[in-house]
Amino acid sequence: MGYNAEKAQQKSFEIIKEPAMPALICGSLAYDTIMLFPERFRDHILPEQMHILNVSFLVPQLRREFGGVAGNISYNLKLLGGEPYPMGTVGDDFGPYQRHLDELGISTRYVRHMTGEFTPQAFITTDMEDNQITAFHPGAMAHSHINRVADAEGAKIGIIAPDGKQAMLQHSQDFPKRGIPHVFDPGQAMTQFDGDELREFIANANWIIANDYEYQLLQERTGMSGEQIAREVWALVVTKGGDGSVLYEDGKVTEIHAAGVHEIKDPTGCGDAYRAGFIHGVLNDMDLETACRIGSVMGAIKIEHLAPQHHRPEPQEIADRFEAAYGYRF
Protein backbone atom coordinates (compact mmCIF):
# COMPACT_ATOMS: atom_id res chain seq x y z
CA MET A 1 0.00 0.00 0.00
CA GLY A 2 1.49 3.35 -1.01
CA TYR A 3 0.92 6.69 0.63
CA ASN A 4 -2.39 8.28 -0.30
CA ALA A 5 -2.36 12.00 0.53
CA GLU A 6 -6.15 12.38 0.45
CA LYS A 7 -6.61 9.38 2.70
CA ALA A 8 -3.85 10.62 5.03
CA GLN A 9 -5.62 13.97 5.43
CA GLN A 10 -8.81 12.14 6.38
CA LYS A 11 -6.96 9.97 8.90
CA SER A 12 -6.35 12.79 11.36
CA PHE A 13 -5.46 12.12 14.97
CA GLU A 14 -9.13 12.61 15.88
CA ILE A 15 -9.51 8.92 15.08
CA ILE A 16 -8.47 8.10 18.64
CA LYS A 17 -11.85 9.43 19.80
CA GLU A 18 -13.59 6.57 18.04
CA PRO A 19 -14.13 3.23 19.82
CA ALA A 20 -10.78 1.46 20.10
CA MET A 21 -10.30 -2.07 18.86
CA PRO A 22 -8.59 -4.54 21.18
CA ALA A 23 -4.97 -5.53 20.65
CA LEU A 24 -3.51 -8.56 22.41
CA ILE A 25 0.04 -7.77 23.54
CA CYS A 26 1.89 -11.01 24.38
CA GLY A 27 5.17 -10.55 26.21
CA SER A 28 6.80 -9.69 29.49
CA LEU A 29 5.69 -7.28 32.18
CA ALA A 30 8.83 -6.49 34.13
CA TYR A 31 10.50 -4.14 36.52
CA ASP A 32 13.42 -2.28 34.96
CA THR A 33 16.32 -1.30 37.19
CA ILE A 34 17.98 1.37 35.06
CA MET A 35 21.52 2.54 35.74
CA LEU A 36 23.24 5.41 33.92
CA PHE A 37 27.00 5.05 33.47
CA PRO A 38 28.43 8.57 32.89
CA GLU A 39 31.25 7.32 30.64
CA ARG A 40 31.67 5.09 27.57
CA PHE A 41 31.73 1.31 27.73
CA ARG A 42 34.34 1.17 24.98
CA ASP A 43 36.82 3.00 27.19
CA HIS A 44 36.56 0.21 29.77
CA ILE A 45 36.11 -2.94 27.67
CA LEU A 46 39.28 -3.81 25.79
CA PRO A 47 38.69 -6.08 22.77
CA GLU A 48 42.02 -7.83 23.22
CA GLN A 49 41.10 -8.69 26.83
CA MET A 50 37.62 -10.13 26.19
CA HIS A 51 38.78 -13.62 27.20
CA ILE A 52 39.45 -12.36 30.75
CA LEU A 53 36.64 -9.82 30.97
CA ASN A 54 36.11 -8.57 34.53
CA VAL A 55 34.67 -5.06 34.66
CA SER A 56 32.69 -3.00 37.13
CA PHE A 57 30.82 0.19 36.28
CA LEU A 58 30.17 2.89 38.87
CA VAL A 59 26.58 4.06 38.29
CA PRO A 60 25.70 7.14 40.37
CA GLN A 61 22.14 7.20 39.01
CA LEU A 62 19.75 4.28 39.56
CA ARG A 63 15.99 4.01 39.13
CA ARG A 64 13.42 1.24 39.30
CA GLU A 65 10.74 1.59 36.67
CA PHE A 66 7.78 -0.23 35.16
CA GLY A 67 8.77 -2.01 31.95
CA GLY A 68 8.73 -5.25 30.00
CA VAL A 69 7.82 -5.32 26.33
CA ALA A 70 4.11 -6.06 26.86
CA GLY A 71 3.85 -3.33 29.49
CA ASN A 72 5.69 -0.77 27.36
CA ILE A 73 3.79 -1.49 24.15
CA SER A 74 0.49 -1.40 26.03
CA TYR A 75 1.41 1.91 27.67
CA ASN A 76 2.21 3.58 24.34
CA LEU A 77 -0.81 2.13 22.58
CA LYS A 78 -2.99 3.52 25.37
CA LEU A 79 -1.44 6.97 24.80
CA LEU A 80 -2.63 6.68 21.20
CA GLY A 81 -6.17 5.87 22.30
CA GLY A 82 -5.88 2.13 21.78
CA GLU A 83 -7.31 -0.71 23.84
CA PRO A 84 -4.34 -2.92 24.72
CA TYR A 85 -4.67 -6.20 26.57
CA PRO A 86 -1.27 -7.33 27.85
CA MET A 87 -0.88 -11.09 28.22
CA GLY A 88 1.86 -12.34 30.53
CA THR A 89 2.76 -13.82 33.91
CA VAL A 90 3.90 -11.93 37.01
CA GLY A 91 5.06 -12.64 40.55
CA ASP A 92 4.25 -11.79 44.16
CA ASP A 93 5.86 -8.34 43.86
CA PHE A 94 3.56 -7.13 41.07
CA GLY A 95 1.37 -4.94 43.34
CA PRO A 96 2.87 -1.52 42.45
CA TYR A 97 2.76 -2.34 38.72
CA GLN A 98 -0.86 -3.51 39.05
CA ARG A 99 -1.84 -0.19 40.63
CA HIS A 100 0.01 1.67 37.86
CA LEU A 101 -1.90 -0.19 35.13
CA ASP A 102 -5.19 0.32 36.96
CA GLU A 103 -4.57 4.07 37.07
CA LEU A 104 -3.90 4.06 33.32
CA GLY A 105 -7.04 2.07 32.56
CA ILE A 106 -5.09 -0.85 31.07
CA SER A 107 -6.81 -4.18 31.66
CA THR A 108 -4.89 -7.02 33.32
CA ARG A 109 -7.53 -9.60 32.47
CA TYR A 110 -4.92 -11.80 30.78
CA VAL A 111 -2.08 -11.20 33.26
CA ARG A 112 -1.58 -14.20 35.57
CA HIS A 113 -0.04 -14.15 39.04
CA MET A 114 2.38 -16.97 39.82
CA THR A 115 2.67 -17.50 43.57
CA GLY A 116 6.22 -17.83 44.86
CA GLU A 117 7.82 -16.17 41.84
CA PHE A 118 9.32 -12.75 41.17
CA THR A 119 7.92 -10.54 38.44
CA PRO A 120 10.50 -10.52 35.60
CA GLN A 121 13.35 -8.10 36.28
CA ALA A 122 15.65 -6.32 33.82
CA PHE A 123 18.87 -4.69 34.98
CA ILE A 124 19.90 -2.16 32.32
CA THR A 125 23.11 -0.12 32.26
CA THR A 126 23.28 2.68 29.66
CA ASP A 127 26.45 4.60 28.81
CA MET A 128 26.88 8.12 27.44
CA GLU A 129 26.70 6.85 23.85
CA ASP A 130 23.33 5.16 24.49
CA ASN A 131 24.85 1.68 24.38
CA GLN A 132 23.20 -0.75 26.77
CA ILE A 133 24.19 -3.84 28.74
CA THR A 134 21.20 -5.75 30.10
CA ALA A 135 20.78 -8.70 32.46
CA PHE A 136 17.32 -10.26 32.68
CA HIS A 137 15.77 -12.51 35.34
CA PRO A 138 12.65 -14.21 33.88
CA GLY A 139 10.96 -15.14 37.16
CA ALA A 140 7.27 -15.75 36.56
CA MET A 141 7.79 -15.47 32.80
CA ALA A 142 8.95 -19.09 32.84
CA HIS A 143 5.26 -19.99 33.26
CA SER A 144 3.91 -17.72 30.51
CA HIS A 145 2.87 -20.70 28.38
CA ILE A 146 -0.17 -21.15 30.64
CA ASN A 147 -1.70 -18.18 28.81
CA ARG A 148 -3.56 -19.01 25.62
CA VAL A 149 -4.53 -16.73 22.75
CA ALA A 150 -7.83 -18.63 22.61
CA ASP A 151 -8.76 -17.10 25.97
CA ALA A 152 -8.66 -13.57 24.56
CA GLU A 153 -12.02 -12.30 23.35
CA GLY A 154 -12.46 -9.84 20.51
CA ALA A 155 -8.80 -9.20 19.70
CA LYS A 156 -8.36 -7.67 16.24
CA ILE A 157 -4.57 -7.83 16.16
CA GLY A 158 -1.80 -9.36 18.24
CA ILE A 159 1.93 -9.17 18.76
CA ILE A 160 4.35 -11.85 19.90
CA ALA A 161 7.08 -9.98 21.75
CA PRO A 162 9.88 -11.46 23.90
CA ASP A 163 8.43 -13.87 26.45
CA GLY A 164 8.98 -17.44 27.60
CA LYS A 165 10.14 -19.70 24.76
CA GLN A 166 7.24 -22.16 24.96
CA ALA A 167 4.72 -19.34 25.15
CA MET A 168 6.09 -17.63 22.04
CA LEU A 169 6.01 -20.86 20.03
CA GLN A 170 2.48 -21.57 21.25
CA HIS A 171 1.20 -18.08 20.41
CA SER A 172 2.72 -18.36 16.93
CA GLN A 173 0.50 -21.38 16.30
CA ASP A 174 -2.58 -20.01 18.04
CA PHE A 175 -2.90 -16.60 16.37
CA PRO A 176 -3.40 -18.10 12.87
CA LYS A 177 -5.79 -20.71 14.25
CA ARG A 178 -7.93 -17.93 15.74
CA GLY A 179 -7.74 -15.87 12.55
CA ILE A 180 -6.02 -12.98 14.34
CA PRO A 181 -3.27 -11.27 12.32
CA HIS A 182 -0.14 -10.67 14.34
CA VAL A 183 3.28 -9.05 14.48
CA PHE A 184 6.35 -11.15 15.25
CA ASP A 185 8.82 -9.11 17.31
CA PRO A 186 11.71 -11.46 18.16
CA GLY A 187 13.77 -8.92 20.09
CA GLN A 188 16.24 -10.22 22.63
CA ALA A 189 14.41 -13.57 22.72
CA MET A 190 15.75 -14.54 19.29
CA THR A 191 18.74 -16.38 20.73
CA GLN A 192 16.35 -18.91 22.33
CA PHE A 193 15.33 -20.28 18.94
CA ASP A 194 17.02 -22.34 16.26
CA GLY A 195 16.63 -21.82 12.54
CA ASP A 196 13.67 -24.16 12.12
CA GLU A 197 11.74 -22.47 14.92
CA LEU A 198 12.44 -19.00 13.54
CA ARG A 199 11.34 -20.08 10.06
CA GLU A 200 8.08 -21.27 11.63
CA PHE A 201 7.58 -17.89 13.31
CA ILE A 202 8.12 -16.20 9.95
CA ALA A 203 5.71 -18.53 8.15
CA ASN A 204 2.96 -17.86 10.69
CA ALA A 205 3.43 -14.09 11.07
CA ASN A 206 1.70 -11.32 9.15
CA TRP A 207 4.24 -8.61 9.98
CA ILE A 208 7.76 -8.72 11.39
CA ILE A 209 9.48 -5.86 13.20
CA ALA A 210 13.14 -6.13 14.17
CA ASN A 211 16.03 -3.77 14.71
CA ASP A 212 18.97 -3.91 12.33
CA TYR A 213 21.01 -6.24 14.56
CA GLU A 214 18.08 -8.62 15.06
CA TYR A 215 17.41 -8.53 11.32
CA GLN A 216 20.95 -9.67 10.56
CA LEU A 217 20.74 -12.39 13.21
CA LEU A 218 17.39 -13.56 11.84
CA GLN A 219 18.95 -14.01 8.41
CA GLU A 220 21.96 -15.86 9.81
CA ARG A 221 19.90 -18.24 11.94
CA THR A 222 17.29 -19.05 9.29
CA GLY A 223 19.61 -19.11 6.28
CA MET A 224 17.08 -16.84 4.55
CA SER A 225 17.89 -13.59 2.80
CA GLY A 226 16.09 -10.41 3.73
CA GLU A 227 14.15 -10.60 0.47
CA GLN A 228 13.03 -14.15 1.24
CA ILE A 229 11.85 -13.17 4.71
CA ALA A 230 9.95 -10.17 3.33
CA ARG A 231 8.16 -12.36 0.77
CA GLU A 232 6.82 -14.61 3.55
CA VAL A 233 4.90 -11.83 5.36
CA TRP A 234 2.63 -8.92 4.54
CA ALA A 235 5.42 -6.55 5.56
CA LEU A 236 8.82 -6.49 7.23
CA VAL A 237 10.03 -3.46 9.17
CA VAL A 238 13.67 -2.97 10.17
CA THR A 239 14.33 -0.19 12.68
CA LYS A 240 17.68 1.59 12.76
CA GLY A 241 17.44 3.99 15.68
CA GLY A 242 18.35 7.54 14.73
CA ASP A 243 18.79 6.43 11.12
CA GLY A 244 15.08 5.73 10.77
CA SER A 245 13.55 2.48 9.57
CA VAL A 246 13.01 0.50 6.39
CA LEU A 247 9.67 -0.92 5.26
CA TYR A 248 9.65 -3.96 2.96
CA GLU A 249 6.17 -4.44 1.50
CA ASP A 250 4.96 -6.06 -1.74
CA GLY A 251 8.46 -6.13 -3.20
CA LYS A 252 8.91 -2.42 -2.51
CA VAL A 253 11.54 -0.96 -0.16
CA THR A 254 10.68 2.33 1.54
CA GLU A 255 13.07 4.33 3.71
CA ILE A 256 11.32 6.02 6.64
CA HIS A 257 13.37 8.89 8.03
CA ALA A 258 13.42 9.26 11.79
CA ALA A 259 11.24 11.87 13.46
CA GLY A 260 13.17 14.74 15.01
CA VAL A 261 14.35 14.48 18.61
CA HIS A 262 14.69 17.52 20.87
CA GLU A 263 16.96 15.90 23.46
CA ILE A 264 18.19 12.34 23.97
CA LYS A 265 17.73 11.19 27.56
CA ASP A 266 17.12 7.42 27.60
CA PRO A 267 16.65 4.91 24.74
CA THR A 268 15.07 2.26 26.98
CA GLY A 269 11.68 1.29 25.54
CA CYS A 270 12.00 3.24 22.28
CA GLY A 271 11.53 0.10 20.19
CA ASP A 272 8.39 -0.77 22.12
CA ALA A 273 7.02 2.74 21.52
CA TYR A 274 7.67 2.27 17.79
CA ARG A 275 5.80 -1.04 17.77
CA ALA A 276 2.82 0.54 19.50
CA GLY A 277 2.68 3.26 16.85
CA PHE A 278 2.84 0.66 14.08
CA ILE A 279 0.02 -1.37 15.66
CA HIS A 280 -2.09 1.77 16.04
CA GLY A 281 -1.70 2.54 12.35
CA VAL A 282 -2.59 -0.99 11.28
CA LEU A 283 -5.62 -1.13 13.59
CA ASN A 284 -6.92 2.10 12.10
CA ASP A 285 -6.46 0.95 8.48
CA MET A 286 -3.67 3.38 7.67
CA ASP A 287 -1.06 2.64 5.02
CA LEU A 288 2.06 1.05 6.46
CA GLU A 289 4.32 4.02 5.69
CA THR A 290 2.11 6.09 7.97
CA ALA A 291 2.06 3.31 10.58
CA CYS A 292 5.89 3.27 10.60
CA ARG A 293 6.00 7.05 10.86
CA ILE A 294 3.67 7.01 13.87
CA GLY A 295 6.05 4.48 15.39
CA SER A 296 8.98 6.80 14.71
CA VAL A 297 7.23 9.74 16.38
CA MET A 298 6.38 7.66 19.45
CA GLY A 299 10.00 6.49 19.67
CA ALA A 300 11.25 10.08 19.39
CA ILE A 301 8.95 11.26 22.16
CA LYS A 302 10.00 8.34 24.35
CA ILE A 303 13.76 8.91 23.98
CA GLU A 304 13.30 12.45 25.31
CA HIS A 305 12.21 11.05 28.69
CA LEU A 306 13.76 8.82 31.30
CA ALA A 307 12.36 5.29 31.69
CA PRO A 308 9.97 3.41 29.39
CA GLN A 309 6.71 4.80 30.80
CA HIS A 310 7.28 8.40 31.92
CA HIS A 311 6.31 10.23 28.73
CA ARG A 312 2.71 11.42 28.64
CA PRO A 313 2.16 13.44 25.48
CA GLU A 314 -1.27 14.82 24.74
CA PRO A 315 -2.87 13.68 21.46
CA GLN A 316 -2.35 17.15 19.97
CA GLU A 317 1.38 17.00 20.69
CA ILE A 318 1.71 13.62 18.95
CA ALA A 319 -0.24 14.90 15.94
CA ASP A 320 1.85 18.08 15.77
CA ARG A 321 5.13 16.17 16.03
CA PHE A 322 3.98 13.86 13.24
CA GLU A 323 3.05 16.76 10.95
CA ALA A 324 6.34 18.54 11.65
CA ALA A 325 8.29 15.41 10.73
CA TYR A 326 6.31 14.20 7.71
CA GLY A 327 4.27 17.10 6.37
CA TYR A 328 0.76 15.72 6.85
CA ARG A 329 -1.56 14.69 9.68
CA PHE A 330 -2.68 11.13 10.26
Cα four-point dihedral sign 268, 271, 276, 277: positive
Q: Cα separation of 158 and 22, whole Å? A: 9
> What's the pLDDT at 49?
79
pLDDT per residue of the chain (330 residues) written in tens, 0 to 9: 333 333 333 323 333 334 567 999 999 999 989 899 999 999 998 888 788 888 899 999 898 999 999 999 999 999 999 999 999 999 999 999 999 999 999 999 999 999 999 999 989 898 999 788 988 899 999 999 999 999 998 999 999 999 999 999 999 999 999 999 999 999 989 999 999 999 999 999 999 999 999 999 999 999 999 999 999 999 999 999 999 999 999 999 999 999 999 999 988 899 999 999 999 999 999 999 999 999 999 999 999 998 899 999 999 999 999 999 999 999
Write out the catalytic residue numbers.
272
Q: List the strands of the sheet with 245-249, edge to edge.
A: 110-113, 83-90, 22-26, 157-160, 182-184, 207-211, 235-239, 245-249, 252-256
**What are the residue boundaries of the structural domains of the chain, listed by start?**
28-47+56-326
Q: Cα separation of 64 and 244, whole Å? A: 29
DSSP secondary-structure letter at 51?
G
> What's the pLDDT at 268?
87
DSSP β-ladder status, 235-239 and 245-249: antiparallel
Q: Does domain 28-47+56-326 have CATH number 3.40.1190.20?
A: yes
- In the 3-class helix/strand/coil scheme, how is 239-308 assigned residue by residue? ECHHHCEEEEECCEEEEECCCCCCCCCCCCCHHHHHHHHHHHHHHCCCCHHHHHHHHHHHHHHHHCCCCC
Name residue 116's amino acid.
G
CA–CA distances in Å: residue 76 to residues 157, 271, 312 = 16, 11, 9
CA–CA distances in Å: residue 215 to residues 225, 230, 239, 263, 287 = 10, 11, 9, 27, 22
HSE-up (13 A, CA, CB side) for residue 237: 29
> What's the pLDDT at 16?
37
Q: Cα separation of 29 and 38, whole Å? A: 28
**SS3 of 58, please?**
coil
> What's the pLDDT at 14?
35
DSSP secondary-structure letter at 116?
T
> What's the pLDDT at 20?
63
Name residue 277's amino acid.
G
